[in-house]
Structure 1
Amino acid sequence: MNVKILTGLVLILFVLGANAQTKKVFDDVEISVKNATVNTPNSDFASTTDNGKLIYNSEVKVEGGKKKETYLLYDVFSTQIQPDGTLPKRGEWNPVITTKIQEGPMTICQATGEMYLTQSYEEETDVENIVFKKENVRLGITMFKRANGGWTEIGQFPFASKEYSMAHPTVSQSGDTLIFVSDMPGGLGGTDLYYTVRKGGEWQEPVNMGDAINTAGMEMFPNLQADGTLFFASGGRGGKGGLDIFYTEFKNGKTGEVLTFDNDINSAGDDFGFVPGPDERYAYFGSNRNGGQGGDDVYIVLPEQYKIDLLVLSTFTEKPVPDAKIEVQNEKGKVVEEYMTDTAGRTTLKLEMGERFNLLATKLGYYDKQQEINLSPEGQFANQEEVLYMDPSHRLKGQVVNIMGDDPIEGAMISIKRDGVIVDNALTDADGYFKADIQPDRQYLVSADAENFLGTDIEFSTDGMEPGELFYYFQLYPLDAGTRIGINNIYYDYDKFNIRPDAARVLDRIAEALAKYPDIEIKLEGHTDCRGTDEYNQKLSERRAKATLEYLVRKGIDKSRIEAVGLGESQLVNECGDGVDCSEEKHQENRRTVFEIMKSKVTKKDQTE
């Protein structure tokens, strides 16, 4: 970059673009940097891309002044990008904007059909000498609208002033945020980056991007991409040379950590204006490094490798699939790389450019899945983020309802434990349904919880289960006054009143509900089977009720909130009365505890609504 250009912002006609590259494409991969064929002995640099074309600036000779002397001005040209990222030979180009004033870098918003172009003020361009020797020529931003295959000028961008320059804009994908460079008063250095947001059709007052971006030196040629990555050049952050290319994240007016490239993109010279090509399989930037054809040249970044963020999802739940093995096979079927997805179902592939690959994803509980990645020039190029869907061989589906009327419960939390470890969570939809992937030959505990309801669990095993789907129906008791909760699996051994382990888990549920809802008061009833005398069973049921109460008290529940009564064999739930021959399982159904909510601030819903 011409050193004299650095003395006045007007003469810093920097490159930038609306399209952009993400750091994973060009970082941490092998690249080659090549001088582009469009370069001339004068200054040339890329500006942006537009519908498969590279828009670039090039110095041309112009006659002007009374003595008809020739001087150099930047005009805007376009050239078709080849499938491999290279450019046609010099001469195979078309003018875009050519006037008698300086045209600098531009940005194009595809969504709005708007172009923002750096230009010098017309009345300051009629000079006798070479324009680059004229100091302090100010720059502004001119707005255009796409029309009839060309561009129609619609006016100057707001906030312009003859006292300072505004230049090299870059626009967000939506067209409602514009970042630009200015030396307006109040900045941190020679030139700073500013942004403005469009609200209600009006651009708001520009905001300096602060010391997270700007330094005491010069920051310029910003390039904002769709995912929020912002590229810019800086001479105040050290690096390899005068100007280096840096990048950060810019979203909602906030910036992230500022990073730079660790490869040959930056050099001992000035490097600026990073412009990615279509599909981000290559990029362009400007540099005055040694070995060029002119003052500034367009250089092409051609990655030898391509990085792809792969996300593996279940076709059944659309949730991430962790610990999936990904084999990368070349066209001959040889495995060249292996990867594993993380807990978020992601992994980063690093593949050689110019080849076709086949991905093979495998995991227990899923059918094998193959997917092609075509990095050849003639193929359908891969995205930087690829999604691979795997079909689960075993699936769990269920519905959670209110036991009082079987109304579906939306937003119930489903927690899934596999072999004692929580492996998944789900929320029920508006109809109370949920679904999850499960694996064969495993033990599962599935819990269902909802606000103002008593949660419950089910256990099952997939040992020996054929591929297919399991369905479970969860009925939850509402925690309303008057609700009687008949817990079927708080059982006692015959003639015993100690709490069995299987009963403890259910009692823990009761304790959790009482702890979460401190206004609830309950009555618990102890019941026995018919064996033994009525008097003995009455006392046994009282001891069972007391044992249950003491268990809840040990869990931290205030004793005053619990009334415990024994009802002996007076309320059998089946036909197993005195003199009836019943199995042990039948008798056990009668050895139980029933809870009734006596008081609660939880409002009971009208079941007819």
Structure 2
Amino acid sequence: MRKLFLYSLLFCIASGFAQQRELKKADRLFEDLAYVEAAKAYEKYLKEESAPGTQTIMNVADAYYYTGNNGSALRWYTKLYTVLDDNMDDTHFNRYIQTLRATEDYKKADELLKKRLEQKGNQAMIDRFISQRKYLDSINGQPSNYTVSNLSSNSDKADFGTAFYGSQIVFSSSRDTTKVGGKTYSWNEQPYLELYVADRNAEDGSLFNIQKFLPKEQTQYHNATISFMPDLKTVYYSANIVKPNDKLITDDEGTGNFEIIKGTIEGEKLSATEKLPFDDKKYSVGHPAVSADGKWLFFVSDMPGGYGDADIYVAQIFDDGKLGEPKNLGDKINTSGREMFPFINDSILYFSSDGHYGLGGLDVFESKMTGRAEFEAPKNLGNQVNSNVDDFAFIIDKDKKYGYFSSSRKGGMGDDDIYYFTRQEPVCIQTVSGIVTNAKYKVPINQADIKVYDEFGDEIASAKTKEDGTYSVEVPCGSKIKVEASKLNHTKAEKELETDKTPNHETKDVNFELNNYEDLVKKEDDVEKVDINPIYFDYDKWDITPQAAEELDKVVYIMKNFPAIIIKIESHTDSRGKDSYNMTLSENRAQSTYKYITQHGIDPSRIESVKGYGESQLRNKCSNGVKCSEEEHAINRRSDFIIVKK
């Protein structure tokens, strides 16, 4: 029994030593940036370890994150969050959020992010989260301006980072696996990146005749992300920092950082090469992007004093080619995450970020320059350009019609692929809004029809009013339109507008009042009549007075709004005067009203009859010889517009 206990103890000690050796191996691989092998070593260790340390969990999660294995990274970031909860640092919390988005668990990602922002109490960050999420939801609910296609020229390795070079394209790739004794990058176990140049098919954006770009000038390590001055002679590109003998230089922690090299292209050679004044082996400087006018150099760096893992900077390029002091673009652009791959077109900065609100991984954003190195809040380009994983290195031609970007999205041909896109100008839309009410009672009208017509009379938009009578309808910018409100058994109303060219502008208070048919008629003697006030004529006259015209306009109004109505016109006098005279006077007055109505757009066929009755149809006792007041005689003087069909 004692021997058995001793053997068991020795086995446990041996197993413990073996476990520690496996952990040290994994840590060493991780420190050497050999993340693929490090992840395997950590998994082997963790299979036997029930209570791993926080740093170990963090390392295995990071190893998977760095190599794009988001599913496995999420598994370990979830465990890390379970251990640390609110004490998880910003960098790893952001990576946790990105892996949730990469696996399309947007609900949980948003819940955790909102909780984090509430705890921090930074209102500016909360406002940015709300604004960017609302904007992204909005554009993702609309047709995209971009049509995207994968290029058949992509390899099964990494292809990314395009740059315009006249009519050609220069890009980075690790496709060359034919070099004898060629080095591989332990980070992802792929060959080191080299620069390639290709001809471009203008019709479909495809790349062909692919060759190495200035092959004798590239180092045996990474050569990537290039940008050209307007003359296409002066070039800036990223490369690992190496010694004159092409040996890698590392920082104090053994990391091979990047620098930007400037040079002049002369045939197949690069002359007058020089490092930039802010290159330093202690940190990386890369992803150069020269503005179209050649006056500004944007780049990325993790130099001290930044906001996050990698920030975007800008330096002025003077006429003599020298560079000014680099300036960080500030917290409107840079976050605690990664801002990378800048590209400037006119006054628009395009860049990729995993710190601004997006769909997952690096998303492409745009921001308009408002002043000297000052920018508006970035806007996400939406779900054609962006996916749930890394989307980056976006470039677009000067007319903003086509371009390229890179992505590790599902369905690609390799690690990172180059995608071609065409872009349509976004449709400029405005909103017209208002309320529709009953003209008589001023109450809202529900379910009224709102229709919008262009200047050719074609219907271009429609809507219905809500229960409170309000409506909102989208209309095109910069156009002449007519907005019409109507409802069954109601009149119509319309207004003409001219919209400007301001996107998303709202024209408010385009209000309408409609009359219900029942509010425009009255019933007398079992017949329907147009409800108007008495029409007064001058003594012994039948000319239409201004007062009469106002009342007759009501008849015209109802007949225009209800085109099925047919009426008959009847005119009556009081009993004063001779019977024959009154008959003639009433006939003349009836004809006068008929003439007014038809002259104002009513087809004569819609008036069944026109007749004057004189004093033959009195409405009270005031016949010949009966003494009556003026008010009593007025009751008999009337013009009736009787509805015989509707």
Q: TM > 0.5 between the two?
A: no
Structure of larger gyration radius: 2
From the two aligned structures, give the one with the greater helix fraction. 2
Q: Highest relative contact order (Cα 8 Å, sep 6+), 1 or 2?
A: 1
Give the TM-score of the pair, scaled to structure 1.
0.44
Give the TM-score of the pair, scaled to structure 2.
0.42
